[in-house]
Amino acid sequence: MHQTEAQFLQFDCPWNRSDQMSGVPDHKTIVLVIDDEVQMRRLLRACLERSGYEVAEAACGEDGLWEATRCQPSAVVLDLALPDMDGLAVLKRLREWSQVPVLVLSVRGHEDEKVAALDNGANDYVTKPFGTAELLARLRAVQRHAQPAKKPEVFHSGNLQVDLVTRTVKVCGRKVKLTATEYALLRLFVQHAGKVLTHGQILREIWGSEENDRISHLRVYIAYLRSELEMDPAEPELIVTEPGVGYRLTVAENVRD
């Protein structure tokens, strides 16, 4: 990686703004940054420490794996372009013994890399250049999703309510009838709410196959779901598309019926 840090990071880090400190960890949480660019590591360290994290660093894959065993981080920020080994190889080796949340840094236009990272165990990704507010929000999200807290039996997001026990779906308090496949697809999204699901992951879970010719089939069902759940299916806010990668069910503030 030879580009400058200015190409990768939008300078919105809240150096002197206390109002940006919401979401600060209650206790020191270690984030391991694996990136070969010195300036990028400095910027990430400054921003993460400003937000209450402790930071460990590694400039290559092997050092990153060693550092992960040494400091047992609560999350890892992993760049895919490393000098000694491919970032995906680092991710695969890490997943052999750890389920620590991993946030991948990827380059815009490299959708295949994002898909491969997610399919190999990454929890989410941030596309360069990125704003620090987005980075911190996604970091908090992957940490929340990694917590072994019991999943609520009734899921809420905005006007959407899904009761996983009674298999009841409501929008604005109105019952919505879904087919078995539509409900299975929605349930999968609910079980991974806030997380990107790749086309391959969805096809494998719902249809038992990752064949590319089924992606058009998936798009049809996504359109069906949006027509039933979204206020404006043409401008979806619940089931959003991650271009070239897959879909994500957003977790919005609850709206009373």
pLDDT along the chain (257 residues), means of 10: 46 39 57 94 94 95 93 94 92 89 83 87 88 92 72 84 91 94 94 90 85 83 96 95 93 64
Specify the pLDDT at position 257: 44
Query: Domain locations in the chain?
Result: 5-146, 154-249
Tokens of residue 73, six digits: 């981080």
Residue 234 has a CB neighbour count (10 Å cut-off) of 7
Tokens of residue 237, six digits: 């806010």
Q: CATH classification of 5-146, choosing from 3.30.70.1290, 3.40.50.300, 3.40.50.2300, 2.30.40.10?
A: 3.40.50.2300
Nearest to residue 67, comparing CAs of 76, 54, 58, 77? 58
- Considering the segment(s) 154-249 as one domain, its CATH architecture is Orthogonal Bundle (1.10)
What's the pTM?
0.66
Could you tell me how many residues make up the chain? 257
Cis peptide before 148 (omega within 30 of 0): no
In 12-60, which residue ranges form alpha helices assigned H by DSSP? 38-50
How many contiguous H segments (helices) and E segments (strands) does the chain have?
Answer: 8, 14
